Amino acid sequence: MDLGLILGYAVGLSVAFSSAVAGVCDVGGPCWAAAARLFVWIPLLAGAADLGEDFCLAMTLTHDRKLGESSSLNGWPRAASILARVKFSLLALSIGWAALVLWPLLVP
């Protein structure tokens, strides 16, 4: 179920941002359009980080571990935590871009 959500937000935000590039170019000029083209990739990177997080969590759950030995997890929980932070940072950046730049530029 999480894979569908990842696909939905990553591709959905990316398509929405890519459809706004032409409008940003018309209103803000070529510099803003270049930034808008870069922001098309941010949701896809967040989706990739989310997939990596899911993999790390799956490895944590399936790893044969003994009670009380955290070293036997081989760092999978820590990697999942880092990837979750990266994912949420990229999504916050995307929402900030949409709210602070796209909305004022494109909505009359």
pLDDT in tens, 61-104: 887 655 555 557 788 999 999 999 999 999 999 999 989 888 88
| Residue-number span of the structural domain to which 50 is assigned | 2-106
Total domains in the chain come to: 1
Burial category of 13 from C-beta neighbours within 10 Å (exposed 0-12, middle 13-18, buried 19 and up): buried
Contact 17, 36 (CB under 8 A): yes
Contact 56, 84 (CB under 8 A): no
pLDDT in tens, 43-66: 999 999 999 999 999 998 887 655
Burial category of 82 from C-beta neighbours within 10 Å (exposed 0-12, middle 13-18, buried 19 and up): middle
**pTM score of the predicted model:** 0.85
